[in-house]
Amino acid sequence: MSAKRIILTGGGTGGHITPLLAVAAELKKQDPNCHIIYIGERNGKYAAMTSGNAHIDETRSIFAGKFRRYHGESWLRRLFAIKTNVLNLRDSIFFMIGTLQSVILLKRLKPDIILLKGGFVGVPIGLSAAFWHKPFITHDSDILPGLANRLVGRWALFHATGMPPENYGYPPANIRYVGVLVEEHYQPVSHEQQLAYKTALGVPADSMVLLATGGSGGAATINTAVRSILPELLERYPKLYVIHQVGRGKGGIYDDFSHVRLQIHELLKPMYQYTGASDLVITRAGANTMAELGVQGRACVVIPNPLLTGGHQLKNAEIWHEQSAARVVAEQQLKQGSRIFIDTICELLDTPAKRQTLGGNLQKLTVTDAAHKLAKLLLGLG
């Protein structure tokens, strides 16, 4: 019996690629002989994440085009957004080239099954899979499916979802609820493990750790808000250590401020150690990040990005707020300079029981074996 050939594709952000690495690892664990091919964006800035991965046997790339649109913008503003429209026109050409490349690639690669994680790279692959009648599955982490999966979803064999099925508009018979995919390094964190993580990061074991992150690209609004409250926080809590992931090229926000209990990083690696060491995390409301924090049982202050398409982070945050699994602060409240942000942080730093409740509730909402379930589904269909 020949080895199963499985294509994994997704891209646009690291948040599309990291979950695929978790699936690749689980696929190899369940079937060491399967042949895994990753198809990503040509000249994509996240190519290094897959090219050196031990679980991926082959990498290919195609041209891909992103359709830029922003939640809440009026049609008039979109019409006169010249730069955005020019980029969309350019990327429509990339999309057509990528679709042709995909048709040729799938003919040559002869996959048994394809997983589309989302992101604009998946659209040409999905269309080509439909053309060649190759079975594929989509996976949505967020409560609102992304545009890429919605465009090609009508031809999908199944829709794997990160949230419970009732949150999606797909035909119920085609939904497979597996959970949000996280890498195997993310595991529940005991008190002893948290102390070990703190020691590994050079932080005293008896300290409190506040981690702030807006993702690998950073979030200017979060960066500014955190920077503005740090002097007060560090003075108020003598045992507080702050670790701030500012994003690539954004470290300049701290040119005029430094502190012995402040660590500034453009990127954090390995991220699971930093989150595992944390007593409180300030983050966006992306489903992948929240699933990682949920597995570890971390308490979070969530600041959803209101501009992302369809407002999916707002919808994610609403679910966690309703389940008392995270504290939510609106981005607009940061811009208004209100004390809601710092007061929320102080309340949680002052009350370990509240942090424990938030982390425990988030953990209860998190499926811890999503990659295992999805890998089993893929191997069963291939």
Q: What is the pLDDT of residues 346-360, one digit of tens each?
A: 999 999 999 999 999
Distance CA 297, CA 352 (A): 13
Mean pLDDT across the chain: 91
pLDDT of residue 77: 63
pLDDT tens digits, residue range 269-291?
A: 999 999 999 999 999 999 999 99
Query: Which residue pairs from 194-199 have beta carbons closer than 8 angstroms and sit at least 24 positions apart in sequence?
Result: 194/276, 194/277, 197/273, 197/274, 197/276, 197/277, 198/277
Domains detected in the chain: 5-180+368-381 (3.40.50.2000), 191-365 (3.40.50.2000)
pLDDT of residue 80: 58
pLDDT of residue 18 exceeding 70? yes
pLDDT of residue 161: 97
**In which band, very low, low, confident or very high, does the pLDDT at 43 lie, cut at 50, 70 and 90?**
confident
pLDDT tens digits, residue range 187-238?
A: 999 999 999 999 999 999 999 999 999 987 789 999 999 999 999 999 999 9
Phi, psi for 268 (deg, rounded to 5)? -115, 120
Contact 12, 113 (CB under 8 A): no
Q: 226, 365, 222: which is closest to 291 by C-alpha?
A: 365
Distance CA 350, CA 217 (A): 30
pLDDT of residue 215: 81
Question: For 258, what's the count of Cα atoms within 13 Å in the CB-facing half-sphere?
Answer: 5
